[in-house]
């Protein structure tokens, strides 16, 4: 995903250094790729950068077809790794993490539980969270269900927390997301159609990007897990659990809401209720930006995030 402003993904993912993660003390500051086999039976894959003695930041990706920690935060990892200890995690069902055919909990809760277990296993008391879309919803659920584990939250158009006041629901982006897996099945054309709703700068959606994402998105195991994830939002009692805005007033962390003015997935008006309800919230809006603020406004977003996380 080339771009003159620094937007784009790193050329290659770092090689795996182990099959099961242990304590991070003593690791090189360079990026590594690791797996953690949790006691719950979940396997999480994550990328790591930065000094393990520094404050930890979790990078949590969105939920579109073919999404992963690397696709959303590959280059962000190295930048924030200069100031923090950073873990970019493939959430359950994505990337190279476990892909369950059934979720016994609503997805946000299941992913948050796995992250809390990961932090416990790595001996990390607390981590700041940077979450895009679905990852933002997971970050909020982690803060609600495991408040001692979550530090400050940077939430980019977070799923479940925004509530559309003026925009129609489902939005254009969500309709294209549902269409990807609908009969007669996935295609590169459908994927490209969805990806174009994520950005203001349409030149970012290259053939190379579509090809890269489709390899993951069309995998049968991934598709089955995505269907299970979707079903977890509509199971008995789960729909209410996914409405994170109803519990937004309980958040005691400092929260930075980040939105693209031209977001066609979770529109800007969805920020208004969260901004009103979260006691320690602030909102930053990028003009000329869609749903991928961390890519479309790469340099500005990284400065904003680092300054927010380090502020007294």
Q: Please say if 146 is a catalytic residue.
A: no
**Of 3, 304, 312, nearest in space to 155 by CA:** 304
Partners of residue 130 on adjacent β-strands: 59, 154
Partners of residue 88 on adjacent β-strands: 47, 59
Rounded Cα–Cα distance for residues 100 and 49 (Å): 27
Q: Are 118 and 146 in contact (CB under 8 A)?
A: no
**In what helix (H) or strand (E) does residue 135 lie, and over which residues does it extend?**
helix 134-145
Rounded Cα–Cα distance for residues 286 and 261 (Å): 6
Token pair 């923090």: residue: 84
First-to-last C-alpha distance (Å) of the chain: 35
| Token duo for residue 196 | 């174009």
**In what helix (H) or strand (E) does residue 283 lie, and over which residues does it extend?**
strand 281-286
Given the residues 45, 47, 85, 291, select the one marked as catalytic.
291
Token pair 């129609």: residue: 168
Give the SS3 label for residue 236: coil
Q: Catalytic site residues?
A: 291
């Amino acid at each position: 995903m080339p771009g003159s402003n620094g937007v784009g993904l790193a050329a290659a993912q770092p090689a795996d250094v182990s099959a099961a993660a242990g304590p991070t003390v003593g690791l090189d500051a360079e990026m590594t790729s690791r797996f953690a086999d949790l006691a719950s039976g979940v396997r999480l894959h994550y990328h790591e950068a930065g000094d393990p003695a520094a404050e930890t930041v979790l990078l949590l990706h969105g939920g579109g077809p073919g999404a992963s920690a690397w696709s959303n935060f590959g280059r962000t990892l190295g930048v924030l790794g200069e100031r923090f200890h950073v873990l970019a995690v493939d959430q359950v069902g994505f990337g190279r993490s476990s892909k369950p055919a059934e979720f016994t909990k609503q997805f946000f809760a299941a992913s948050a539980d796995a992250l809390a277990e990961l932090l416990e296993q790595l001996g990390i008391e607390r981590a700041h969270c940077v979450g895009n879309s679905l990852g933002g919803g997971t970050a909020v659920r982690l803060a609600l269900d495991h408040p001692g584990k979550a530090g400050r939250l940077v939430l980019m158009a977070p799923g479940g927390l925004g509530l559309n006041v003026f925009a129609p629901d489902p939005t254009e982006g969500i309709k294209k997301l549902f269409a990807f897996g609908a009969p007669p099945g996935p295609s590169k054309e459908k994927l490209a159609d969805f990806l174009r709703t994520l950005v203001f700068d349409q030149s970012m959606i290259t053939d190379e990007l579509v090809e890269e994402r489709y390899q993951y998105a069309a995998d049968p195991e991934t598709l089955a897990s995505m269907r299970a994830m979707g079903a977890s939002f509509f199971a008995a009692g789960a729909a209410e659990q996914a409405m994170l805005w109803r519990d937004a007033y309980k958040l005691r962390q400092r929260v930075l809401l980040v939105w693209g003015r031209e977001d066609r997935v979770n529109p800007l008006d969805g920020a208004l209720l969260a901004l009103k309800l979260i006691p320690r919230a602030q909102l930053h809006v990028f003009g000329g930006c869609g749903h991928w603020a961390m890519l479309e406004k790469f340099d500005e977003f990284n400065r904003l995030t680092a300054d927010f996380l380090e502020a007294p």
